[in-house]
Amino acid sequence: KDEPETPRGYLAQLIKQHNVLQVVADPYQLHAMITELRDEGRVYARSFNQGVDRLEADNQFRQLIVNRRIAHDG
């Protein structure tokens, strides 16, 4: 199930390597994947719809970038 070349495998690898506690995903696109990861006890999964919540999150992320309050290694 966790082939690293697949999105699910890559996500499972990130969860394990970085001690990820929660994954937030669009239930329309990724319901099966996040449900499997949750049911396996790997991570807490939360739905995040693509409406107003997404616009608010995108704006908050943009503000972090503009204000140089987020680091990225390339």
Overall average pLDDT of the 63-71 stretch: 92
Overall average pLDDT of the 1-13 stretch: 81
Q: pLDDT-derived band of residue 60, with 50, 70 and 90 as boundaries? A: very high
Per-residue pLDDT at 4 exceeds 90: no
pLDDT at residue 61, as a whole number: 93
Per-residue pLDDT at 73 exceeds 90: no
Determine the 3-state secondary structure of 25 from DSSP: strand
Helix boundaries (H) for the chain: 7-18, 27-39, 52-66
Residue 45 tokens, joined: 């999964």
Distances in Å between the Cα of 9 and the Cα atoms of 4, 21, 53, 66 are 4, 16, 27, 32
